[in-house]
Amino acid sequence: MATMHDVARLAQVSVSTVSYVLTGTRPISQATRNRVLAAMAELDYQPNAMARGLASRRSRILGLLMPMDERGLGATETAFVTGAAAAASAAGYHLVLSPVGGGNLDDLRRLASQRMLDGVVLMEVQLADERVTVLQEAGVPLVLIGRTGDTSTLSYVDIDFDQTVREAVAHLVGLGHRRIVYVNHSAATLASGYGPALRTRDAFTAAMTGHGLEPVMIAAEDSAAGGRAALAAAFARTPELTAVLAMNETAIFGILGELTGRGLSVPDDVSVVSMVTSPQVAELATPALTAMTSPGSALGRIAIEALVRHLDGSAVDRHQQLLPCALEVRGSTAAPRSRQPMGADQ
Amino acid sequence: MATMHDVARLAQVSVSTVSYVLTGTRPISQATRNRVLAAMAELDYQPNAMARGLASRRSRILGLLMPMDERGLGATETAFVTGAAAAASAAGYHLVLSPVGGGNLDDLRRLASQRMLDGVVLMEVQLADERVTVLQEAGVPLVLIGRTGDTSTLSYVDIDFDQTVREAVAHLVGLGHRRIVYVNHSAATLASGYGPALRTRDAFTAAMTGHGLEPVMIAAEDSAAGGRAALAAAFARTPELTAVLAMNETAIFGILGELTGRGLSVPDDVSVVSMVTSPQVAELATPALTAMTSPGSALGRIAIEALVRHLDGSAVDRHQQLLPCALEVRGSTAAPRSRQPMGADQ
DNA sequence: ACACGTCGTCGAAGCGTTTCGACGAAGCGG
DNA sequence: CCGCTTCGTCGAAACGCTTCGACGACGTGT
């Protein structure tokens, strides 16, 4: 393994000159630069990341902390990751994913304090997230995907749930639906302070009320069985329901199954809209689901870019941004059978 | 940020003594050790990972290289990851996931040559995988999850596809099925040399032939539409089919939809078995799928443990191991309607 | 022609560890 | 009681890089 000394000797320059060629920190004449570059190529030189990190006090590694819980990453989360990885690579950083589960907060503390990460992006942030505290105490630059309860001091990128829910509801109302049920994540998830669940709940209430309609929300366990139970509960509360809006990607398959089981057809009897869903998942269902497609890779990219700007010092203040999901109409929504669609002109 | 010097000064010992306490490389008296430990605690000392890595020439970081393609990680892959992370943590290593997609082989080469990773575990290995070559050239210790074509020289852990397919087929045959169609991954995937697809194909042929039955395999695109098309093709080739064995987790939802669309019920008209599937996914379908459950976290754990043993020098030879999937009977398989189940006693 | 920047390069001092050789103090058999 | 290990500790030399101060060699404005 060739070192800088070897390169310097071969190119007949000092070690520091080689370093300057590599980092561009100081001007180097074209002639010298070429000699150095040639020497590097000949020796197949690769800088030692550890030595670099030690001397410069920055590792050029960014962490993407993702909770790896029971259910795997959906296509949505995967899009975050690929977007982030591409952005990091473009900025000359490595991106490592760290599967910090719930328990190992100490693991996280260690990782952070060991100065191995220049900065981190945190996924799936809770309203009150201990990880944020740990990282802030360790002085690690931080960008969130999602938001904590108090958004004032931190950088974040998140989905604009308010706008997304409003659009979904408007789509259904525009088709003529009046009895719309919202299937959210489980009660436990809501109680734990999971931002998306809470924000969509509030947004749904606001949107429905705005249309003069009654907001009915059901909390469903994240499983097919949970979806089934939720639908049963929905019919119990609102027998004439004609549309379901679902945040719970897992439950939605149970909902569809139960609908079919009751002899109801989608979309003729009941329309279904899935929230924050990737096209891949939406296409899995029969018929394919009308869904609010999450901005996916853009979220990851923007988060990394904000973090890098912060590290490079080109931006000192925090970055806060919301991205809406886009409505993609597929086969699971239609006008309700019992009445004609109501356009704005009626 | 406290350094070793600070700890040494506070504990009134030399720096090297502190290091010995930390690493256990040389004996240290209990009294001194306690003084040092106390000093560390008081200063909230955390060793600098870079400095450690530079001096010791080992980073204590393990890489898990996973391809992050279009479709996200299923629960199966997630289980690999969590298993691996737990094992690495237990062995005192950090585990970082690197999303190396198809294109960036150079990225990989760089990562490998920069001596930032002590060793790597490679997921989703192709029969002819360039990444293996790159890493071997860079001299990075390597364990595969999956197998290359030539398995002789490398360490790997993989699913025992032969055994898994045999068991799945035996289950269906035991219920009385004779016309069984195997829905594999796409023709393109097969052509690209994706091991699981090829091995299950061969295993299916062998298993069916062993029962004196005709093996019919359909290649399906990884999408719901692909599943539908595959089922249509299956009925065209084998109109009296009573059972479907599916490797393609994505296509299976299309298959189920198409079955329902044709007015066929699962499992009364057609039985369905899903291969290498996680319980979570199996439960999404209605009825829940009988499936061959992948060994999940065990794969990840075993791979990491093998790698660590290699790095610690406690094992020099390669580790090769196959784990079967476990049959979990749920609601999607039953005796075919047209004839009685055939037990061994008939 | 003179002081004065700027450019391109060098040498050396770190960065925070590990690790090697050395060395006094015990402990031990003879 | 002497020479020998073994134990516990120390000081110093790496590890491979970045970065700072210095220093000629040149333009440049005056």
Substitution target in A50, A94, A110 with the highest count of B β-carbons within 10 Å is A50
Confidence at residue A70, expressed as pLDDT on a 0 to 100 scale: 60
Give CA angle at A33 (A27, A39), nearest 5°: 145
B231 within 8 A of B254, measured Cβ to Cβ: yes
> Is the model's pLDDT at B157 over the cut of 50?
yes
Asked if A104 and B89 come within 8 Å (Cβ–Cβ), the reply is yes
**Per mean pLDDT, which of A199-203, A314-318, B143-147, B277-281 is the most reliable?**
A199-203
> Count of residues for chain A?
346
Closest partner CB to A85 (pick from B59, B85, B99): B99
d(CA A12, CA A8): 6
Residues of B in contact with A89 (CB under 8 A): 104, 107
Strand order in the sheet with B320-323: A320-323, A155-159, A142-145, A119-122, A61-65, A94-98, B94-98, B61-65, B119-122, B142-145, B155-159, B320-323
Give the B window 91-130 contacts with A, CB below 8 Å: 94-99, 101, 104, 107, 110-111, 113-116
Confidence at residue A71, expressed as pLDDT on a 0 to 100 scale: 59
Residues of A in contact with B111 (CB under 8 A): 94
Q: Could you read off the pLDDT of A115-129 as tens digits, one per residue?
A: 889 999 998 888 888
Confidence at residue B342, expressed as pLDDT on a 0 to 100 scale: 44
Closest partner CB to B73 (pick from A73, A113, A284): A73
Asked if B285 and A97 come within 8 Å (Cβ–Cβ), the reply is no
> Is the model's pLDDT at A341 over the cut of 60?
no
Closest partner CB to B50 (pick from A54, A224, A284): A54
* Mean pLDDT value of segment B265-283: 89
* Mean pLDDT value of segment B310-339: 87
> Is the model's pLDDT at A57 over the cut of 90?
yes
Binned at pLDDT 50, 70 and 90, residue B126 comes out as confident
Closest partner CB to A99 (pick from B72, B97, B223): B97
Residues of B in contact with A51 (CB under 8 A): 54
Confidence at residue A113, expressed as pLDDT on a 0 to 100 scale: 85
Closest partner CB to B284 (pick from A96, A253, A261): A253
Binned at pLDDT 50, 70 and 90, residue B102 comes out as low
d(CA A137, CA A131): 10
Please give the residue of chain A at the shortest CA–CA distance from B53: A50
Asked if B48 CB < 7 A from strand C, the reply is: yes
Please give the residue of chain B at the shortest CA–CA distance from A107: B89
* Mean pLDDT value of segment B68-80: 72
> Is the model's pLDDT at A346 over the cut of 80?
no
> Is the model's pLDDT at A343 over the cut of 50?
no
Confidence at residue A255, expressed as pLDDT on a 0 to 100 scale: 92
Spatial distance from the CA of A90 to the C1' of D26 (Å): 38
- Strand D footprint nucleotides (protein C-beta < 7 Å): 7-21
Query: Which of the nucleotides lies closest to B17 (Cα–C1')?
Result: D9
DSSP state of B124: S
At residue A258, the 3 state secondary structure works out as helix
d(CA A116, CA A108): 11
Asked if A54 and B74 come within 8 Å (Cβ–Cβ), the reply is no
Q: Could you read off the pLDDT of A154-213 as tens digits, one per residue?
A: 899 999 999 999 999 999 999 999 999 999 999 998 998 888 999 999 999 999 999 999
Name the percent of chain B lying above pLDDT 70: 94
At residue B37, the 3 state secondary structure works out as helix
Residues of A in contact with B115 (CB under 8 A): 1, 48-50
> Is the model's pLDDT at B241 over the cut of 90?
yes
Confidence at residue A103, expressed as pLDDT on a 0 to 100 scale: 61
Residue B316 burial (10 A CB sphere; 0-12, 13-18, 19+): exposed
d(CA A205, CA A182): 9
- Strand C footprint nucleotides (protein C-beta < 7 Å): 7-12, 14-21
Confidence at residue A338, expressed as pLDDT on a 0 to 100 scale: 59
| Domains defined along chain A, listed by start | 4-47 (1.10.260.40), 61-159+296-325 (3.40.50.2300), 161-293 (3.40.50.2300)
Residues of A in contact with B70 (CB under 8 A): 75, 280
A108-117, A337-346, B54-63: lowest mean pLDDT where? A337-346
Give the B window 205-234 contacts with A, CB below 8 Å: 223-225
Asked if A5 CB < 7 A from strand D, the reply is: yes
Confidence at residue A345, expressed as pLDDT on a 0 to 100 scale: 41
Binned at pLDDT 50, 70 and 90, residue B283 comes out as confident
d(CA B127, CA A231): 46
Asked if B94 and A113 come within 8 Å (Cβ–Cβ), the reply is no
Confidence at residue A108, expressed as pLDDT on a 0 to 100 scale: 80
Asked if B49 CB < 7 A from strand C, the reply is: no
Q: How far is A38 from chain B (nearest CA, A)?
A: 18
* Mean pLDDT value of segment B92-96: 88
Confidence at residue B286, expressed as pLDDT on a 0 to 100 scale: 78
A101-105, A221-225, B92-96, B191-195: lowest mean pLDDT where? A101-105
Average pLDDT taken over every residue of chain B = 88
**Residue A345 CB coordination number (10 Å):** 4
Element holding B291 (H helix, E strand): strand B290-293
Size of interface A-B (CB pairs under 8 A): 156
d(CA A249, CA A230): 13
> Is the model's pLDDT at B316 over the cut of 80?
no
> Is the model's pLDDT at B344 over the cut of 50?
no
**Residue A114 CB coordination number (10 Å):** 18
Asked if B15 CB < 7 A from strand D, the reply is: yes
Confidence at residue B70, expressed as pLDDT on a 0 to 100 scale: 60
> Is the model's pLDDT at B100 over the cut of 80?
no
Q: Could you read off the pLDDT of B21-60 as tens digits, one per residue?
A: 999 999 999 999 999 999 999 999 999 999 999 999 999 9
| B2 close contact with A: CB closer than 8 A | no
Residue B144 burial (10 A CB sphere; 0-12, 13-18, 19+): buried
